[in-house]
Amino acid sequence: MVRKRDVLQRRAGFSNPQNPLRRSAVLANLLDSERWSFYPLDAGIGLTGDGLSPLVMSLGTRLATRVSFAASVRLFRCFCGWAPSSDTIQQLVLGMGKDSVAYMDQAPVPPDDGEILVIEVDGKATPTATEAELKKRRGKRPQKPHTCRCARHRGQAKRACRGKKKRRKLGDKSKNGRSITLVVMYTLKQGDDGRLHGPINKRVWGSYAPRKVMLAWAREQATKRGFAPATAKRIHLVVDGEICLYDGLSTLFPQATFALDIRHVEERLWKVGRALYSPDHALVEQWVEDQRERLYSGRALELVTGLKAVKLTLSARAKRDADKRDALSALIGYLDKRLSMMAYKDLIDEDRVIASGIVEGARAMEWGSGSTVVACGGYPREPKSCCIFAVSSSTGIGSGSLHGATNAGWIKCKPVSES
């Protein structure tokens, strides 16, 4: 039986031939209720069971890794005159992210690598919905009260339906978060001027998998790139100070050099300076500059000794010094355990990396700007696949993920909703 189908073909007229939106996108609108019908035309022109061409799927998912689902729909419609629904894009991201692990495992070794491998590791907890929040979203919707439709009274009616929000206790900043580990790998090449230039062949990978799994992935990728455990090549690791990361990486990379992100240390110095000398900003700034000079000149142990001496000058029981004691104790405990990663003068002389700016930037871009991961973070539904695809798109090889998945037959013909 032949069912009625409408196939719409659009071409966006852009003057730039390199713009992917200029290529033809075949868009289909299913008019029947039976979504599992087979259409020979779809197979001939390359449409999946979702009724979308690979180009549409690629554009939708790549947009979703930069902005929210709703914003992805608006941007898509602005350039193409049509857009899949936000639910469709969400399902595409989840489905493709599920198979991106296999794609990254099969990704080829980058050519023309540098001489020094740099690995930056960081973590972040994305918020997820609690059971109480999910309970409010499930079940039948409450009947809306009869009121006028002006913006002011409509908002009052919505708040009345939701009921009073439970106030948090003082200091409670829990967000029911799930931890994500982000790994950035790239190489540096020494130039004629003796300095290390890069980054070269940067790859970013993130997952909700346990830390041990992510660190093992970094070890595997380093071996593939020619930096085996027994290699004489130099490997440099930059972390934000988490002891579990240092212990795991030092086991997997016994010959590597480590650097504690110096920006994290400076942030803590400013916090202690404000606790000691606030509100005199000039005095705070002078004290912090003195401590930074010790850091950059390789006198980290002297810095810790000086902080302990300052703590001894404070009263052990006076309430006026309680905040100062707490701030100093926290900083001393933080630095004492990480002195082996604070040889900044030697690292600067060798032009090594002493700050994890690349992984911090990737984290802020992927998870801090309303992107796909943030949009899905409130729903504990396959967040791992969503996170993986969003991060893999910024590696520079993400554009081939859809192509590789299509050729391997990974894209499943699962029907999803369309607008």
Show which of 341, 371, 388 is a domain's final residue: 341
pLDDT class for 144, splitting at 50, 70, 90?
low
Q: Which two tokens stand for residue 403?
A: 């192509």
CA-nearest of 379, 391, 412 to 57 is 412
Asked, for residue 169, whether it belongs to a domain, the answer is no
Same-domain status, 330 and 403:
no
Asked, for residue 268, whether it belongs to a domain, the answer is yes
Burial of residue 410 (CB within 10 Å: 0-12, 13-18, 19+) is middle
For range 330-345, the mean pLDDT: 94
DSSP 370-406: S-HHHHHHTS-SSHHHHHHHHHHTTSS-THHHHHHHH
Contacts for 379 with CB less than 8 Å, ≥ 6 apart: 128, 129
Higher pLDDT, 69 or 7: 69
Relative to beta strand 177-190, strand 196-207 is antiparallel
Is the Cβ–Cβ distance between 101 and 387 less than 8 Å? no
Asked, for residue 276, whether it belongs to a domain, the answer is yes
What's residue 365's pLDDT? 62
Same-domain status, 318 and 402:
no
Cα(139)–Cα(57) distance, rounded to whole angstroms? 32
- Most confidently predicted of 48-57, 107-116, 170-179, 355-364: 107-116
Cα(228)–Cα(362) distance, rounded to whole angstroms? 26
Show which of 326, 341, 356 is a domain's final residue: 341
Asked, for residue 121, whether it belongs to a domain, the answer is no
Give backbone dihedrals phi and psi of 99, rounded to 5 degrees, phi first.
-100, 0
Asked, for residue 213, whether it belongs to a domain, the answer is no
**How many other CB atoms are found less than 10 A from the CB of residue 142?**
10
Least confident piece of the model among 189-198, 281-290, 327-336, 396-405: 396-405
Establish whether the linkage from the previous residue to 279 is cis, with ω within 30° of 0.
yes
Show which of 341, 358, 373 is a domain's final residue: 341
Asked, for residue 229, whether it belongs to a domain, the answer is no
For range 357-376, the mean pLDDT: 58
Asked, for residue 286, whether it belongs to a domain, the answer is yes
Higher pLDDT, 96 or 214: 214
Instruction: Tell me the pLDDT tens digit for each residue of 188-208.
Output: 999 999 899 989 999 888 888
Instruction: Tell me the pLDDT tens digit for each residue of 393-416.
Output: 444 444 444 443 433 333 333 333
Count of domains forming the chain: 2
pLDDT above 50: residue 309: yes
The percentage of residues in the chain with a pLDDT greater than 70, rounded to a whole number, is: 74
For range 296-304, the mean pLDDT: 94
Q: Which two tokens stand for residue 281?
A: 């900003």
Is the Cβ–Cβ distance between 50 and 415 less than 8 Å? yes
Q: Which domain holds residue 317?
A: 263-341
Same-domain status, 88 and 12:
yes
Cα(340)–Cα(337) distance, rounded to whole angstroms? 8
pLDDT above 70: residue 241: yes
- Most confidently predicted of 6-10, 42-46, 351-355, 365-369: 351-355
pLDDT above 80: residue 267: yes
Same-domain status, 402 and 331:
no
Asked, for residue 20, whether it belongs to a domain, the answer is yes
| Summary mean pLDDT of the chain | 77
Same-domain status, 404 and 324:
no
pLDDT class for 92, splitting at 50, 70, 90?
confident
What's residue 411's pLDDT? 34
Is the Cβ–Cβ distance between 266 and 246 less than 8 Å? no
pLDDT above 80: residue 327: yes
What's residue 366's pLDDT? 57
